[in-house]
A and B are shown apart, each in its own frame.
Chain A
Amino acid sequence: GENVEQHPSTLSVQEGDSAVIKCTYSDSASNYFPWYKQELGKGPQLIIDIRSNVGEKKDQRIAVTLNKTAKHFSLHITETQPEDSAVYFCAAIYGGYQKVTFGTGTKLQVIP
């Protein structure tokens, strides 16, 4: 089955700086990679996703890159704001199945 590793587990940045979270996956059959933001007491919120036929995708201050050869994908948040503070999860979907495998999460703290 799929295994997703995520680093770092915690990340503190000053407001306005950039934050980068990295993930690796194990199964080359995975072809969809969503990122979720989870605030305390709430369910995960889908913030951006990328498919395996695309190398990069951007949505305002958030971007995701994918390196299929190395099985790496990353989340980049620019101009961070205090409201970006949350736990972020990367995930991968294995082939034609519907099961999402999540990483272990990164707790991002943006210091005002």
Chain B
Amino acid sequence: DTGVSQNPRHKITKRGQNVTFRCDPISEHNRLYWYRQTLGQGPEFLTYFQNEAQLEKSRLLSDRFSAERPKGSFSTLEIQRTEQGDSAMYLCAIGGRGRNEQFFGPGTRLTVL
């Protein structure tokens, strides 16, 4: 148990629909990250929050993607007007006690039909 839950675990949607994923750290963690992982590849960094401030964003995070962490606890990742290329596993991670440690949740698998 890494101390992170993600919901839903699976999401199937039609192209053009909006989807929202949620990440809930079990306890308070300053650092929170979102990654995307496609089949057969390593996770790719999307964005990083320090408390409620979004401090880093990847170029992968197009205008259709938005992430929030309103109270510095849970976080949401929304994808608008989904495309088939958005099909992937979306992983949330929290920072550990070590400066760079990151612990991943179980992920949300998105399938866009």
Q: Chain A interface (Cβ within 8 Å of chain B)? A: 32, 34, 36, 41-46, 49, 89, 91, 93, 97-105
Contacts and interface: CB of A to CB of B under 8 A. Distances in A.
Interface string B93-110: 101101111111111000
Interface string B63-106: 00000000000000000000000000001010110111111111
Contacts of B95: 98
Interface residues of B, number: 29
A7 B5 CA distance: 31
Contacts of B28: none
A93 B96 CA distance: 14
B100 A44 contact: no
Given A98-B31, A99-B45, A34 B2 contact: no
A46 B101 contact: yes
B67 to A, nearest CB: 14
A105 B102 contact: no
A47 to B, nearest CB: 11
